[in-house]
Structure 1
Amino acid sequence: MIKLIAIDMDGTLLNSQKEIPQENIEAIQAAAAAGVKIVLCTGRPKSGIVPYFKQLGLTGEEYIIMNNGCSIYRTDNWDLIHYESLTTSEIAELQEACDDFEGVSLTLTGEQSYYEVADQVSDLVAYDASLVFDLAKARTLEEVAQEGEIIFQAMYMGEAERLDAFEVSFGESLSQYYSTVRSQTYIYEAMPKGATKASALKELAQYLGLEKSQIMALGDAANDLEMLEYVEHSVAMGNASDAIKQICRYTTSANDQAGVAKAIYDYVLN
């Protein structure tokens, strides 16, 4: 019996217009009313999640896995119950990798702030921050350290061609010391080693006393891979990559056809 549903956001819960289809809201509310835990599991930071979570209308004790598994929050009081973070020396090492790589900048996701390590915020970073309802701050590494926030993860940003070249040059070495994923054409992410959506979902399952056989997860992209491999009830969105579909137990409709709702009715509330 499925007792928890882990749902990716972009490309999964959200349609192409970055909206939650009403069918998804109704299915999620029906699952929650049946006693199933609803866990959004996303690469987004808190600023880019809360407005959507409020639309779901859930009032019970729910949880959200954020920052690609680097943080877990309770939604009834927004307490941070578990996190992984980058050290000052790790951040300096990550910055050094792109110091001389023109067109690629390092951004940092803190508990409260979205930083770009630069003299001024670039247009690309400002655009990405706007997608999560935030404003990026240009800071030096020293200033970031002085502000004292928990830094959950880092993201290299650049136009696709420049980031392709950066990944070819540094991807292999970075992956030895960090959990890395190319989550968007313009984003290459670096998390603390071992931190993924799967590691956070496993942590949360233990916290709640659940087995992975009691969890269903839905996703569409590379940063969902470990999570979908971890659970027994894995669901690929109809718009997912072939690599995702091949490792999943089920495939549902696309995100523009309310595939989350279909999966909930097909595999949880049937």
Structure 2
Amino acid sequence: MIKLLALDMDGTLLNSQKQLTQPQIEAIHKAIEMGVKLVLCTGRMLPGVKPYFDQLGLDAENEYVIVNNGCSTHQTSDWKLIDWAELSPDEIRYLATFIPESEMQLTLFDEEHYYVLEDEPNEHSRTDAHLVFVEPTILSMENATNQSRHLFQAMYVGTKEATDAFESNYADLLRKDFDAVRSQDVLLEILPTGTNKASALKKLAEHLGILPEEIMAMGDANNDIEMLEFAGLSIAMGNASELVQSLADDVTDSNDCDGVAKAIYKHILQQ
């Protein structure tokens, strides 16, 4: 019996226009009425989640969201940060050493801010920040390393060509000290080692007394792979890559055809 539904957002719950459709909302409500707990698990930062959570129209008491690709978990009643992993000052300094050798920008995230380290935001940083309803802010190295804020994760952001070259040149080296994942063409995400959506979901499930086999997870991208492997029932979107689809227990319709709702009706509501 499924007790927890872990949902990625972009490419999964949201359609290509970054919209949450009514069929998706209705199916989620029906699952919750059966006692299933919903946990949004996303690479987005918190400001990019709150408007969609409000649109879902759920009772915020005792609900949770996992954001920043597993770096931070919030309870939705007051959006309090209840669990997190963060980059150390030394790790931030090290990540910055790769910038002069590339055409990329280094971005960093706390609970509310999308920071660009010591540089004017480029086109791709601005576009990515606007997707989560914030403006990018320039952050000095001094302020990034003074430990006055939690900086959960970093991203190298640039053109697709620059990101391809950066990943080819440096990803293997970075993966010796961090978890690195290419979730979009124009960015490479850098997480504290051992941190991903699955690590955060595992901690939350243990807190809630829910077993992995009682979890259904849905996603479409490389940053969903660990979560799909952790869950007892894994569902890939029809728009997911061949790799993600090959790892899942089932493949539903695409995010533009309400694939989440169809999977809920099939596997949870059994209709």
TM-score normalised by L of structure 1: 0.97
Contact 1:32-1:58 at 8 Å conserved across structures? no
Letter of the 1:4 partner, please give it: L
Q: Deviations over 1:246-265 (max 9, x none)?
A: 11111111101100001111
Q: Deviations over 1:43-87 (max 9, x none)?
A: 000010000110001104211010000011111121111000000
Secondary structure of the structure 1 residue equivalent to 2:175: helix
Contact 1:64-1:72 at 8 Å conserved across structures? yes
Cα distance in structure 2, aligned partners of 1:55 and 1:191? 29
Contact 2:237-2:251 at 8 Å conserved across structures? yes
Secondary structure of the structure 2 residue equivalent to 1:112: coil
Letter of the 2:87 partner, please give it: L
Contact 1:112-1:149 at 8 Å conserved across structures? no
Secondary structure of the structure 1 residue equivalent to 2:2: coil
Cα distance in structure 1, aligned partners of 2:208 and 2:221? 26
1:180-199 correspondence to structure 2 within 5 Å: 180-199=180-199
Contact 1:126-1:136 at 8 Å conserved across structures? yes
1:14-163 correspondence to structure 2 within 5 Å: 14-59=14-59, 60-101=61-102, 103-146=103-146, 148-163=148-163
Q: Give the C-alpha shift of residue 99 in structure 1.
A: 2.3
Cα distance in structure 1, aligned partners of 2:203 and 2:268? 22
Equivalent residue number for residue 240 of structure 2: 240
Secondary structure of the structure 2 residue equivalent to 1:156: strand
Cα distance in structure 2, aligned partners of 1:259 and 1:43? 20
Q: Deviations over 1:134-162 (max 9, x none)?
A: 01111221122348210000000010111
Identity score, percent: 47
Equivalent residue number for residue 203 of structure 1: 203
Contact 2:105-2:119 at 8 Å conserved across structures? no
Equivalent residue number for residue 257 of structure 1: 257
Contact 1:85-1:153 at 8 Å conserved across structures? yes
Letter of the 1:228 partner, please give it: L
Letter of the 1:35 partner, please give it: G
Contact 1:114-1:129 at 8 Å conserved across structures? yes
Name the CA shift for 1:119/1:219 in 2 (closer, same or farther; >3 Å): closer
Secondary structure of the structure 1 residue equivalent to 2:6: strand
Cα distance in structure 1, aligned partners of 2:173 and 2:125? 24
Q: Give the C-alpha shift of residue 122 in structure 1.
A: 1.9
Secondary structure of the structure 2 residue equivalent to 1:176: coil
> How many residue pairs were aligned?
269
TM-score normalised by L of structure 2: 0.97
Cα distance in structure 2, aligned partners of 1:213 and 1:120? 46
Cα distance in structure 1, aligned partners of 2:144 and 2:179? 22
Q: Give the C-alpha shift of residue 168 in structure 1.
A: 1.1
1:221-232 correspondence to structure 2 within 5 Å: 221-232=221-232
Q: Deviations over 1:70-111 (max 9, x none)?
A: 01111112111100000000001001112231x201000112
Letter of the 1:83 partner, please give it: W
List gaps (5 residues or longer) in structure 1: none
Higher helix share: 1
Q: Give the C-alpha shift of residue 119 in structure 1.
A: 3.4
Contact 1:116-1:139 at 8 Å conserved across structures? yes
Letter of the 1:248 partner, please give it: A
Contact 2:197-2:223 at 8 Å conserved across structures? yes
